[in-house]
Protein backbone atom coordinates (compact mmCIF):
# COMPACT_ATOMS: atom_id res chain seq x y z
CA UNK A 1 0.00 0.00 0.00
CA UNK A 2 1.43 3.37 -0.93
CA UNK A 3 2.59 5.52 1.95
CA UNK A 4 2.88 2.62 4.42
CA UNK A 5 6.33 2.31 5.99
CA UNK A 6 7.90 -1.06 6.74
CA UNK A 7 7.85 -0.29 10.45
CA UNK A 8 4.05 -0.09 10.30
CA UNK A 9 3.79 -3.65 8.94
CA UNK A 10 6.77 -5.39 10.57
CA UNK A 11 7.96 -4.67 14.09
CA UNK A 12 11.53 -3.61 13.27
CA UNK A 13 12.29 -3.12 16.97
CA UNK A 14 13.46 -6.74 16.94
CA UNK A 15 16.67 -5.37 15.35
CA UNK A 16 17.25 -2.92 18.20
CA UNK A 17 19.95 -0.44 17.18
CA UNK A 18 21.02 -2.47 14.11
CA UNK A 19 19.91 -1.08 10.73
CA UNK A 20 20.85 -1.89 7.13
CA UNK A 21 23.36 0.20 5.22
CA UNK A 22 25.84 0.44 8.11
CA UNK A 23 29.33 -1.01 7.62
CA UNK A 24 30.91 -3.51 9.99
CA UNK A 25 33.49 -0.89 10.95
CA UNK A 26 30.76 1.42 12.27
CA UNK A 27 28.84 -1.42 13.91
CA UNK A 28 32.04 -2.62 15.66
CA UNK A 29 32.75 0.85 17.00
CA UNK A 30 29.34 0.93 18.65
CA UNK A 31 28.81 -2.74 19.61
CA UNK A 32 32.29 -4.27 19.75
CA UNK A 33 33.62 -7.21 17.84
CA UNK A 34 31.12 -9.78 16.53
CA UNK A 35 30.54 -13.02 18.48
CA UNK A 36 31.07 -15.09 15.32
CA UNK A 37 31.59 -14.76 11.58
CA UNK A 38 30.29 -16.95 8.76
CA UNK A 39 30.48 -16.80 4.98
CA UNK A 40 28.34 -18.31 2.26
CA UNK A 41 27.60 -17.74 -1.42
CA UNK A 42 25.85 -14.43 -0.64
CA UNK A 43 28.55 -12.82 1.48
CA UNK A 44 29.99 -12.56 4.97
CA UNK A 45 27.86 -12.26 8.10
CA UNK A 46 28.87 -11.03 11.54
CA UNK A 47 26.89 -12.17 14.59
CA UNK A 48 25.70 -9.92 17.39
CA UNK A 49 22.71 -10.11 19.72
CA UNK A 50 19.99 -7.79 20.96
CA UNK A 51 17.69 -8.69 23.87
CA UNK A 52 18.32 -12.41 23.36
CA UNK A 53 17.77 -12.29 19.59
CA UNK A 54 20.58 -13.33 17.28
CA UNK A 55 21.34 -10.49 14.85
CA UNK A 56 23.62 -10.74 11.83
CA UNK A 57 25.18 -7.78 10.07
CA UNK A 58 25.93 -8.97 6.55
CA UNK A 59 28.04 -7.73 3.68
CA UNK A 60 26.39 -9.20 0.59
CA UNK A 61 27.67 -9.21 -2.97
CA UNK A 62 25.75 -10.01 -6.14
CA UNK A 63 26.42 -9.58 -9.83
CA UNK A 64 24.24 -8.78 -12.80
CA UNK A 65 26.03 -8.78 -16.10
CA UNK A 66 29.17 -6.69 -15.66
CA UNK A 67 27.82 -4.85 -12.61
CA UNK A 68 28.60 -5.92 -9.05
CA UNK A 69 26.24 -4.82 -6.30
CA UNK A 70 27.25 -4.73 -2.64
CA UNK A 71 25.09 -3.94 0.35
CA UNK A 72 25.10 -4.12 4.14
CA UNK A 73 22.05 -5.97 5.47
CA UNK A 74 20.80 -7.01 8.89
CA UNK A 75 19.11 -10.30 9.73
CA UNK A 76 17.22 -11.15 12.91
CA UNK A 77 16.42 -14.67 14.04
CA UNK A 78 13.47 -14.16 16.39
CA UNK A 79 12.51 -16.61 19.11
CA UNK A 80 9.21 -18.48 18.68
CA UNK A 81 7.66 -16.15 21.27
CA UNK A 82 8.77 -13.04 19.35
CA UNK A 83 7.63 -14.45 16.01
CA UNK A 84 3.94 -14.08 16.82
CA UNK A 85 4.36 -10.40 17.72
CA UNK A 86 6.29 -9.16 14.68
CA UNK A 87 3.58 -8.54 12.07
CA UNK A 88 0.39 -6.55 11.87
CA UNK A 89 -2.64 -8.80 12.32
CA UNK A 90 -3.89 -8.89 8.67
CA UNK A 91 -0.45 -9.96 7.38
CA UNK A 92 -0.03 -12.52 10.17
CA UNK A 93 -3.43 -14.04 9.30
CA UNK A 94 -2.56 -14.15 5.59
CA UNK A 95 0.72 -15.95 6.30
CA UNK A 96 -1.04 -18.36 8.64
CA UNK A 97 -3.64 -19.25 6.02
CA UNK A 98 -1.36 -19.35 2.95
CA UNK A 99 1.71 -20.94 4.64
CA UNK A 100 4.40 -19.45 2.32
CA UNK A 101 8.08 -20.22 2.87
CA UNK A 102 9.10 -16.62 2.19
CA UNK A 103 7.41 -13.21 2.07
CA UNK A 104 9.05 -10.11 0.63
CA UNK A 105 7.78 -6.65 1.55
CA UNK A 106 9.05 -3.74 -0.52
CA UNK A 107 8.22 -0.29 -1.70
CA UNK A 108 9.33 1.79 -4.61
CA UNK A 109 13.01 2.44 -3.93
CA UNK A 110 12.58 1.91 -0.20
CA UNK A 111 14.28 -0.58 2.11
CA UNK A 112 12.86 -4.10 1.93
CA UNK A 113 12.18 -6.94 4.33
CA UNK A 114 12.09 -10.63 3.54
CA UNK A 115 10.58 -13.07 6.01
CA UNK A 116 11.64 -16.72 6.01
CA UNK A 117 8.76 -18.79 7.36
CA UNK A 118 9.43 -22.21 8.87
CA UNK A 119 6.76 -24.41 10.51
CA UNK A 120 4.33 -21.47 10.57
CA UNK A 121 6.63 -19.03 12.36
CA UNK A 122 9.11 -16.37 11.28
CA UNK A 123 12.55 -17.98 11.36
CA UNK A 124 14.47 -15.03 9.88
CA UNK A 125 13.83 -11.39 9.00
CA UNK A 126 16.24 -9.86 6.49
CA UNK A 127 16.19 -6.02 6.24
CA UNK A 128 17.98 -4.73 3.15
CA UNK A 129 17.88 -2.55 0.05
CA UNK A 130 19.66 0.45 1.54
CA UNK A 131 22.81 2.01 0.21
CA UNK A 132 25.51 2.54 2.81
CA UNK A 133 24.81 5.81 4.60
CA UNK A 134 21.34 6.24 3.02
CA UNK A 135 19.36 8.68 5.14
CA UNK A 136 16.13 6.79 4.40
CA UNK A 137 17.25 3.95 6.70
CA UNK A 138 14.86 4.46 9.55
CA UNK A 139 14.59 2.41 12.69
CA UNK A 140 11.19 2.35 14.37
Per-residue model confidence (pLDDT) at position 134? 46
Helices (H), 32-74: none
Per-residue model confidence (pLDDT) at position 84? 81
pTM over 0.75: yes
What secondary structure letter does DSSP report for 32?
Answer: -
What secondary structure letter does DSSP report for 99?
Answer: -
Per-residue model confidence (pLDDT) at position 131? 62
C-alpha span between 123 and 82 (Å, rounded): 10
Per-residue model confidence (pLDDT) at position 109? 59
Local mean pLDDT, 10-residue blocks, the chain (140 residues): 77 93 92 94 93 94 81 93 87 90 78 90 90 46
Per-residue model confidence (pLDDT) at position 7? 84
Amino acid sequence: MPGVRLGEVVNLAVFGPFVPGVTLEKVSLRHGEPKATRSDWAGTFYEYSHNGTRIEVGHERSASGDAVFEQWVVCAYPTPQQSSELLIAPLARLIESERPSEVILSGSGDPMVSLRIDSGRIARIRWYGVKTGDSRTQAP
